[in-house]
Structure 1
Amino acid sequence: MFGYVTLDRKTLCSDDARRYQAYRRTLAQSLRQRHGPLAQLALSHDLTFLDILLTDVYGDGRKAAPLDPRFSNGFSGYAADMSIALAFHSAQDDWSDDHNYMALALLHQLRGRYAAVSHRYPRQCLAISHGLQQLQRCEAQKCPDPTVPASYFGQLTADVVSPVKGDCAEALRQLGAGLGEFSYLMDAYDDLQADLRAGRYNPLAALAGSPDYEQQCQALLKGAMARCLAGFEQLDAARQDTLLCNVLYSGVWQRYRALHAAPASKAVREARLSFFLPHGPRR
């Protein structure tokens, strides 16, 4: 995805740090075993989080096994396959948008692997493909409402986060949708100035000249995370996991805090506003 689903290491206890690294190693091994050594480049915090979340919700896979035998050995294999699916579509998007030859090379490397993943998980891969097509349509139309493309990304994330039908599926979908919306909006917030300078579409561009731009962005981000956490709070086993709580209540805000940190943050915000306002920042 975008890399915002990460840890707040300042508040992370040592036991949770070790457990997180163990999950990352397991996911890296699954990527290598299922898709070859180069697949480890697709290792991400986002899918590590997904492996932990699904393991908390369904145990080591035994509870999910009667519903779907593909998960009888746990969820690291599923997280590895979704890593490949997302990496493939990301490379496809990069090639389509920028004719990036590195992306084209990656597409050739992943095509066969992705075909196997889409055969195993047609619903998820179709959701990813459909969601990204909708995002491309928003981009082509320069959609001024940031909630529209964010909702499309949230829908595809919801399908990735809820692999098993059952009692927890709806809560997982709600969590995934909110988390996807937050990640999309946070990425837009992070990239706004660079996108406008390069003439690229950014869903927050229509808000950029507003004197309450920062407040509007914060409201959008908080609203998305509120929807995510409403789903998370319904998952009894997951919400008791201090590692997942670290990610969802604090870690996802790491980049936002970094952008607003340091004594010069006021000057940075004013410089950002002055880029959009011809007469400088409004007071």
Structure 2
Amino acid sequence: MFGYINVNTCNLSKKEKDIYEAYYYGIIKELHDKLGLRHKLVFRSDMTFLIVLLEGMYDTRIKKEKFGSVGFLQSKKEKNRLIFRGKTTEYVADMNIVLAYHNYLDDWRDEKCLCKKVFCDCLKNEYKKIIEKYPRQIKAIEKNLLQLSIYEKNNVDNIELVSQTVGEMVGEIFAWQQDKYYEDLKTFGYYLGKLIYIMDAYIDYESDIKKKLYNPLVSYRENAKNKEDFGSVCKIFINSLVQECSRIYENLPIFMHNEIIENVLFTGFLQE
């Protein structure tokens, strides 16, 4: 579902690129410290955006350190790379583990692929610890993934309804703390989550149909006169959500990293 939130490095200054990469490798280091080599099972590069966003609002005095060793065949330059880590890094790394755990669990239930069950079992202990730390987020994730599963089993083709489950889930993930920023971050994450889901359904439509997989856009394609008309309808959904994300972003109290955040939103992510 994820994989659409990317930075466009061509439009970043060297300083901005270095900052983004420091957060990017900071998540990897955090996950490695938590999981060892299992970090490769869970790392999602697009979660870097959430750290940059949260730091841009909270400025938690994140610490600088060297990347160090996270495996074999690393160059001296990579080991000496500067990284940023702090409270937001720990939180996003935990959410990274949660999403990976549920992804493998879902794949195991759908495909009965033994390796996915093994991956899921490898993360079970860490997942239980995260439940105790972030019960609100875990409750929202489990509730909405269960609802999404019900929609899928019943072939619900109301994209507005189905995408709400992902929106509500991402909204709670983006809302790190229940403080004065809670509602703003939750709303931003809600529309971003819906946008991600609809984009994923649109981009994967042809592949899903060939593989006979669930896709909530089936009825929209059947009612469309042709492929171009179907694309136009989907783009109306997507553009309306882009506008909502842009509107809410402009009202977020972001104190730093604005250039990087806007790069991801307007030239890295939304260009998809």
- TM-score, normalization by structure 1: 0.82
Displacement of 1:73 in angstroms is 4.2
Choose from 89, 107, 110 the match for 2:123: 110
- 1:233 aligns to what? 250
Choose from 145, 150, 158 the match for 1:145: 158
Equivalent residue pairs, number: 246
Choose from 157, 169, 183 the match for 1:170: 183
Dislocated runs of 4+, deviation >4 Å: none
Matched, 1:224 2:241: yes
Displacement of 1:214 in angstroms is 1.0
Choose from 88, 107, 123 the match for 2:101: 88
- 1:203 aligns to what? 216
Tell me, in whole angstroms, the C-alpha distance in 2 between the residues paired with 1:238 and 1:215.
37
CA distance change for structure 1 residues 239 and 136 in 2, over 3 Å: closer, same or farther? Answer: farther
SS in structure 2 opposite 1:208? helix
Unaligned runs of 5+ in 1: 63-71, 257-283
SS in structure 1 opposite 2:216? coil
- 1:248 aligns to what? 265
CA distance change for structure 1 residues 50 and 73 in 2, over 3 Å: closer, same or farther? Answer: same
Tell me, in whole angstroms, the C-alpha distance in 2 between the residues paired with 1:118 and 1:137.
23
- 1:75 aligns to what? 88
Q: Which shows bigger deviation, 237-246 or 88-97?
A: 237-246
Tell me, in whole angstroms, the C-alpha distance in 2 between the residues paired with 1:180 and 1:127.
13
Displacement of 1:229 in angstroms is 2.3
- 2:54 aligns to what? 54
Displacement of 1:41 in angstroms is 3.3
CA contact (8 A) 1:174 1:227 kept: no
CA contact (8 A) 1:61 1:75 kept: no
Tell me, in whole angstroms, the C-alpha distance in 2 between the residues paired with 1:225 and 1:29.
32
- 1:42 aligns to what? 42
Displacement of 1:129 in angstroms is 0.8
Tell me, in whole angstroms, the C-alpha distance in 1 between the residues paired with 2:93 and 2:149.
26
Identity of aligned residues (%): 28
Give the AA of the match of 1:13.
Answer: S
- 2:4 aligns to what? 4
- 1:18 aligns to what? 18
CA contact (8 A) 1:49 1:244 kept: yes
- 1:183 aligns to what? 196
SS in structure 2 opposite 1:36? helix
Tell me, in whole angstroms, the C-alpha distance in 1 between the residues paired with 2:203 and 2:260.
25
CA contact (8 A) 1:138 1:149 kept: yes
CA contact (8 A) 1:94 1:103 kept: yes
Give deviations 1:52-100, integer Å, cap 9, x for gaps. 11111111169xxxxxxxxx94300001000000000111111111112
Tell me, in whole angstroms, the C-alpha distance in 1 between the residues paired with 2:196 and 2:112.
24
SS in structure 1 opposite 2:179? coil
CA contact (8 A) 2:108 2:116 kept: yes
Give the AA of the match of 1:164.
Answer: Q
CA contact (8 A) 1:178 1:226 kept: no
Give deviations 1:204-233, integer Å, cap 9, x for gaps. 111113132111111111122222222211
CA contact (8 A) 2:191 2:241 kept: yes
Displacement of 1:203 in angstroms is 1.1
Displacement of 1:114 in angstroms is 0.6
Tell me, in whole angstroms, the C-alpha distance in 2 between the residues paired with 1:164 and 1:16.
26
- 1:272 aligns to what? none
- 1:275 aligns to what? none
Displacement of 1:240 in angstroms is 6.3
* Superposed CA RMSD: 1.8
Give deviations 1:135-192, integer Å, cap 9, x for gaps. 1111111111111111110000000000112221111011101111111111111111
